[in-house]
Structure 1
């Protein structure tokens, strides 16, 4: 040894370097670096390489050698090392594959675990899950804060508004409305990222959260697929097939399905005029019967180890029939029945829709985290609908009239994205990108009244509404992350160019505005069982088409909902402090949050001539303070419990048409579920939900509780799965809304009722049969 190394007996020497694969030059993460005392196997010090293959360790020894090893590669020994200024730079160390060892190796003891990052949690899938052949849905069910029902519905922290990505991008494989996730098996999944408070990297329009499924690169071979048949009551019947073929260069996937469903809804309403004491009562049942067909085709083409192209397309066609019957009764101030009549609706519609997608992803040679991703997505949805409304007088004089409507609706949307990520060092990461979204909509709507034996166009209700919105967003984020602590800053700038036009009346509304959306995230890992995360982000809720479109459904001419072309967007500043902790076999996540929203969109009702018209309006501000906690507990391998509790207190300040809407209130919800493994490979799931009542700007909404039940039976080691489900077992999921004002009161009730479903799936290839999700389109 040289003199400089001998001096290291009194001073620590830093040994550092980068480990790469010899053939490709790619980083080798989690390789083992061990310092041994010369002439023995006595370990002096050790470390593992990070995601970029870098490592660093310290030793006071003066007589040693370094051994670098990783499963499937030949071990490399380095000796005769010399230090300069108490540092030994080993540079780039290349490891070559050991083909013999690869054939003999058996992986054991690799357990799934969660790693906490700055703005997300990463659930790494271990052999305890991947070796079971479970589907992607079952893997998601093991992720903390994520729940998956037996029917396949995914929720994050109790909310179902979850965006699912595959390798950081939208994909038809991530479409919850199909069984696509059933074609992915656990052994294809490397990790799942859970993002509850998105940073500036993601578009500013709000979601409940993001789940990003990262697939393994090396899992490219084999067939996977499933055939399913489902039935239920009310009518809910479908058949489908999903196929996924992986080769060295290609990943081909396709889905085909056909089905029929009927979605009944019971409605009741009471309009009370407090000036004249007159009352109009209505109740009835509306159906939405649908016959649907769909096909999806797509491929991932691996140009080489670092470049992947994805092309996919989807086409669906729906045929709708919407019959309804509503019974009306008109009472005078003495509560005497003046008249009653039936209003019948016959509505027919056809809905063509298609989507196509292009993605390109490049990984740079120095690191698999150094990436460039480009994508383009186009979609179209059309609707041609005609309705006939016919009244039948039962007693007295019918104040309603026969009517007809015609609707031609077309919506085209195009999204272009570019995302660049560069881990400059092991501590610093830079992200930048841009997104451009074009949304072009036309809705030509005509209403005809039956007058003197003829249908005559009603000019007050007939118009053509054109909606054109373009949103351009650019972002940049920077992160500094150490082993226990890190911080991430980001800024997103979005320009919105929106125009709406009522062509018949030439009412034009144009808005162009630019918004800044900063984000800040930090995390601190106290130990392996306790971590803290804090975050801030600014979000926007842009009025949707139906919020702006002034047309309304005339199914009930006494309770009308219509849009508001002058509606402004909501803005929310969101603050969150989250603790993630484990206690034995239980894992918990608890958050304290504050959300301050301006230009709050509320549904406001007005009352004229016994007709209630509900329109969205911007009403002041809302300051909400809340606490949420959720957890999972699995005392053994056949029993697990999951729960979620959310409480918030809100303070409203606002006014509309000289009326003050200042008030405070509280709202809470809870969800408790259990999964029980029974003999004969049968799983039972029970999920109870409660949503409290809460005060609104003009009245209140009542609370409700409901119970869902599911049973799953596995046959042939999971190749066949039979599911039986009952949603809303006691038919208690009832929505009631009261509006109480100085001159009028309204009451409305809506109920879907009980749904019973039965599904059978057969899976072939590497994985199990798909979990049934036939009730979601």
Structure 2
């Protein structure tokens, strides 16, 4: 009832705003395209409308990636002024109004040589741009991003949520495909958890594709998140240096350099630091039949040193051909200490046994990525091009965990154990894309992609018995994983001034083989599937657009979904994989409306997802040991609404909000258990940005996610707040930032697994993080914040 009332009120507000704007018949619409002298579009150029009487701005906008802009005004006596740092301002006073419209055409800005050696380019705030089949989140210098990693930047993106354990979900669904620069990467894989080595200052924009076209991988039932890394092409030497320090133990330094000549563009980024991730946790496992329980409580801290470097060059063979070679290396040296206290309580509420379990884990994690890319442009059209890329990534982990159990109550003997991990993953992606526009309205895209994924995980658990280390064969094995995916696609699009449609078809063939070497257990799967997609958009007015889309998606079980041997940190809470998992398939539908008005914008959407062979973690309980293993459990049909809004309350206060609600119906059977139930969940984010005197800026972000049902229990609600303050000096060249993440230390992960024979509760928290950052830009480089933090 409350949700229906909420939706009704939103709809009334939405209609009211649209009606108010629709009545402005006397408004004049001004459009144009801002370019450099060589015809290259200028993104983020500022366009203002000012009155001739007062010479004061009355409205304004920034250009998109094509240099385009659109403004409306009801003022009769005005002029237009266009500006961008490093270029001379251009004032336009002579224009012709036809049918309440002014088309300024191409506006050419010339470089201001007097500023080139001293100006910087700094995107003040992040903003979301809506495209035909995706939303683009341009990463600005948001204050709460100081000392932030890619995971924390993602947590600021509309529709995306990153929980306390670093798991990424899109519209409440965890089946997300993460890409780097449009391609799969070990740097974005769950196996390496390496998104923490991608830092805020490295990211240009993030594409959120909830209903991807056939051009993109079919992987990811809830959609695709594509992280685009920065690569400057500004002439001359440009760069920035950043320094961060904070608590708990968060210190880093970063350097970004770019050199552009006539033929070459050399780019590099370098970072080094050390950081600590503390965590407190507790859990209770209740045996309902025996009326006994096992309680645990403890704390841990992961100490990490990291090094990160990106090197690359673009070679402009001529105006139509560019060759790019780049490499990315990251290294993490980890040391983690943990102390857990266990208590076994009988049916009389008496503690019969208690012991401490201490852990010392050390690990080294090298990560490599290297890419060769060739792009050919054609003279007949700026969007007519051919792109080929060959990408290689590798990740290794050499990890040792020592466990020492010391009994404090009872007769359980003391115990020494150790777990050894030797992990190696190599992934190769070959991609070919061809785009051919026909005239101004039709576009054909076609291409192919081949991905080779080769993994070996040697996991061994040993017990110290009679002064000898004995291999525990129940938890030791070598797991080999080999998956090849071949995809070919074609799309065709028609896009006129008001209406556009894009349809496509993708074919993917998957060949998966797994093997447990010690026991010679093999499993193989081969399947070929078609993935259609269709998207359409209609521009009702210059300020109101409608979009609709459909796509079919797949979620292939990941390595850790399949690997039976990978976790032995807690003897009484074991996670394991399932080599017999089948992939999930999802049909995704959505309708979205986008409304722009003078003070901001509003995006409202309705979506539906129908998923079969849903993969869920199923927990079983035996001898006080909880074992969690993924299984294919039935179907899930979910319907939701989404609202994103931005409102400029005054010239010094800007508010943005993101609201998502979805209800779902689960149907499934696992062994003799039925998992039929209905549920719902919602999340919301509100950000306020305040421009203060003396060039201070304050930014606050509040996040809330409701509780929701799972197949075996419930996950509790979650609320937390981030805060940032910035002071600009030296005309913006020098920035000093203070960032506080989880201001009230309220971000917790709490869950309940409630079954007939057992009840398990768990609670974990990382606490507050405070970071002070200083950044300095030189040449035409940006003053940015380099990350000193990875993930919670």
TM-score surpassing 0.5? yes
1:240 aligns with 2:254: yes
Which whole-Å CA distance do the structure 2 matches of 1:184 and 1:734 have between them?
27
Deviation at 1:151, TM superposition (A): 3.9
User: Corresponding residue for 2:278?
Assistant: 264
Deviation at 1:141, TM superposition (A): 3.2
Which whole-Å CA distance do the structure 2 matches of 1:301 and 1:169 have between them?
21
- Structure 2 residues not aligned, in runs of 5+: 1-34, 42-64, 67-85, 94-105, 146-152, 162-167, 171-176, 189-193
1:353 aligns with 2:367: yes
**How many residues are paired up?**
662
Which whole-Å CA distance do the structure 1 matches of 2:393 and 2:515 have between them?
22
Which whole-Å CA distance do the structure 2 matches of 1:706 and 1:448 have between them?
41
- 8 A contact 2:400–2:420 mirrored in 1: yes
The one of 453, 456, 460 equivalent to 1:439 is: 453
Match of 2:357, SS state, is strand
The one of 718, 725, 729 equivalent to 1:704 is: 718
Which whole-Å CA distance do the structure 2 matches of 1:104 and 1:140 have between them?
22
1:225 aligns with 2:239: yes
- 8 A contact 1:183–1:243 mirrored in 2: no
Change in 2 beyond 3 A, CA 1:284/1:172: closer
1:150 aligns with 2:133: no
Q: Deviations over 1:678-698 (max 9, x none)?
A: 111111111001100011111
The one of 67, 83, 90 equivalent to 1:107 is: 90
- Does 765-774 or 737-746 show the bigger shift? 765-774
Match of 1:680, SS state, is helix
The one of 410, 413, 423 equivalent to 1:396 is: 410
1:297 aligns with 2:311: yes
- 8 A contact 2:243–2:786 mirrored in 1: no
User: Corresponding residue for 2:591?
Assistant: 577
Which whole-Å CA distance do the structure 2 matches of 1:199 and 1:425 have between them?
22
The one of 480, 486, 498 equivalent to 2:500 is: 486
User: Corresponding residue for 2:320?
Assistant: 306
Match of 2:438, SS state, is coil
- Does 671-680 or 766-775 show the bigger shift? 766-775
Which whole-Å CA distance do the structure 1 matches of 2:363 and 2:227 have between them?
36
Match of 2:160, SS state, is coil
- 8 A contact 1:135–1:770 mirrored in 2: no
Stretches of 4+ aligned residues off by more than 3 angstroms: 23-27, 103-110, 124-127, 130-149, 160-185, 191-196, 207-217
User: Corresponding residue for 1:537?
Assistant: 551
Match of 1:157, SS state, is coil
User: Corresponding residue for 2:357?
Assistant: 343
The one of 669, 677, 685 equivalent to 2:683 is: 669
- 8 A contact 2:586–2:609 mirrored in 1: yes
The one of 492, 507, 512 equivalent to 2:526 is: 512
Write out aligned runs for 1:413-428 (5 A): 413-428=427-442
Which whole-Å CA distance do the structure 2 matches of 1:126 and 1:746 have between them?
65
1:408 aligns with 2:422: yes
Write out aligned runs for 1:12-411 (5 A): 107-108=90-91, 135=121, 138=124, 140-141=126-127, 143=129, 146=137, 149-152=142-145, 153-154=153-154, 155-159=156-160, 182=201, 195-206=209-220, 209=224, 220-398=234-412, 401-411=415-425
Which whole-Å CA distance do the structure 2 matches of 1:329 and 1:433 have between them?
59
User: Corresponding residue for 1:97?
Assistant: none
Match of 2:744, SS state, is coil
Change in 2 beyond 3 A, CA 1:173/1:181: farther
Change in 2 beyond 3 A, CA 1:463/1:135: farther
Write out aligned runs for 1:559-708 (5 A): 559-708=573-722
Q: Deviations over 1:350-371 (max 9, x none)?
A: 1122111111111111111111
Measured on the aligned residues, the alpha-carbon RMSD in Å equals 3.3
Task: Normalising by structure 1, report the TM-score.
Answer: 0.80
Which whole-Å CA distance do the structure 1 matches of 2:340 and 2:412 have between them?
13
- 8 A contact 1:719–1:769 mirrored in 2: yes
User: Corresponding residue for 2:49?
Assistant: none
Which whole-Å CA distance do the structure 2 matches of 1:26 and 1:256 have between them?
29
1:745 aligns with 2:759: yes
Change in 2 beyond 3 A, CA 1:708/1:677: same
- Does 610-619 or 206-215 show the bigger shift? 206-215
Match of 2:425, SS state, is strand
- Which entry has the higher C-alpha Rg, 1 or 2? 1
Which whole-Å CA distance do the structure 2 matches of 1:223 and 1:164 have between them?
32
Deviation at 1:214, TM superposition (A): 11
Higher relative contact order (CA 8 A, sep 6+): 2
Q: Deviations over 1:536-559 (max 9, x none)?
A: 011111111111111142221111
- 8 A contact 2:354–2:408 mirrored in 1: yes
- Structure 1 residues not aligned, in runs of 5+: 1-20, 28-50, 53-102, 111-123, 186-190
User: Corresponding residue for 1:521?
Assistant: 535
Change in 2 beyond 3 A, CA 1:420/1:108: farther
- 8 A contact 2:119–2:779 mirrored in 1: no
1:499 aligns with 2:500: no
Which whole-Å CA distance do the structure 2 matches of 1:109 and 1:156 have between them?
36
Which whole-Å CA distance do the structure 1 matches of 2:206 and 2:620 have between them?
48
- 8 A contact 1:227–1:240 mirrored in 2: yes
Change in 2 beyond 3 A, CA 1:421/1:706: same
Deviation at 1:425, TM superposition (A): 2.4
Which whole-Å CA distance do the structure 2 matches of 1:376 and 1:429 have between them?
25
Deviation at 1:140, TM superposition (A): 3.9
Which whole-Å CA distance do the structure 2 matches of 1:740 and 1:24 have between them?
66
- 8 A contact 2:179–2:224 mirrored in 1: no
Change in 2 beyond 3 A, CA 1:712/1:598: same
1:556 aligns with 2:556: no
- Does 745-754 or 174-183 show the bigger shift? 174-183
- 8 A contact 1:26–1:368 mirrored in 2: no
Which whole-Å CA distance do the structure 2 matches of 1:486 and 1:252 have between them?
38
Match of 2:630, SS state, is strand
Change in 2 beyond 3 A, CA 1:672/1:561: same
Q: Deviations over 1:462-520 (max 9, x none)?
A: 10000111111100001122111111110111111111100001110101111111100
Match of 2:504, SS state, is strand
Change in 2 beyond 3 A, CA 1:212/1:571: same
Deviation at 1:176, TM superposition (A): 7.3
Q: Deviations over 1:390-418 (max 9, x none)?
A: 01111112277321111110000111000
Task: Normalising by structure 2, report the TM-score.
Answer: 0.78
- 8 A contact 1:639–1:677 mirrored in 2: yes
Which whole-Å CA distance do the structure 2 matches of 1:271 and 1:622 have between them?
28
Change in 2 beyond 3 A, CA 1:126/1:596: farther
Change in 2 beyond 3 A, CA 1:171/1:465: closer
Q: Deviations over 1:49-106 (max 9, x none)?
A: xx99xxxxxxxxxxxxxxxxxxxxxxxxxxxxxxxxxxxxxxxxxxxxxxxxxx9985
Match of 2:561, SS state, is helix
User: Corresponding residue for 1:75?
Assistant: none
The one of 732, 742, 758 equivalent to 1:718 is: 732
